[in-house]
Amino acid sequence: MFEQFNIQAPSADIAEELQRKIDNKTKPLGALGELEGIAFQLGKIQQTLTPDTSKAKMIIFAADHGVVAQGISLFPQEVTPQMVMNFLMGGAAVSVFCEQHNVPLRIVDVGVNAELAAHPLLGARKVAFSSQDFSQQAAMTTQQLEQAIQAGVDEANFAIDDGVNLLMFGEMGIGNTCVSSCMMTALIGVSAADSAGRGTGLDQAGVSHKAQVIEQSLKRAEQETGQPMANWSAQTLAEQVGGFEILAMAGAMLQSAQRQTAFVVDGFICSVALLFAQKVAPNVREYAIFAHQSNEKAHKLLLDHLNAEPILSLDLRLGEGSGAILAYPLINSACLFLNKMASFESAGVSDSK
pLDDT along the chain (353 residues), means of 10: 92 97 96 97 98 98 98 93 97 98 98 97 98 98 98 98 98 96 97 89 90 97 97 98 98 98 97 98 98 94 96 93 98 97 81 62
Residues 6 or more apart whose Cβ sits within 8 Å of residue 90: 96, 99
Cα–Cα distances (Å) from 331 to 125, 305, 325, 336, in that order, read 30, 23, 10, 9
Residues that are catalytic? 320
What pLDDT score does 297 carry? 87
CB 79 within 8 A of CB 113: no
What pLDDT score does 352 carry? 63
What pLDDT score does 236 carry? 98
CB 63 within 8 A of CB 112: yes
What pLDDT score does 349 carry? 74
Measure the CA–CA gap between 324 and 290, rounded to whole angstroms. 8
What pLDDT score does 346 carry? 79
Query: Which domains, ranges and CATH numbers included, belong to the chain?
Result: 56-327 (3.40.50.10210)
Measure the CA–CA gap between 216 and 313, rounded to whole angstroms. 33
Global confidence as pTM:
0.96
CB 111 within 8 A of CB 244: yes
Residue 293: which of 283, 284, 303 has the closest Cα?
A: 303
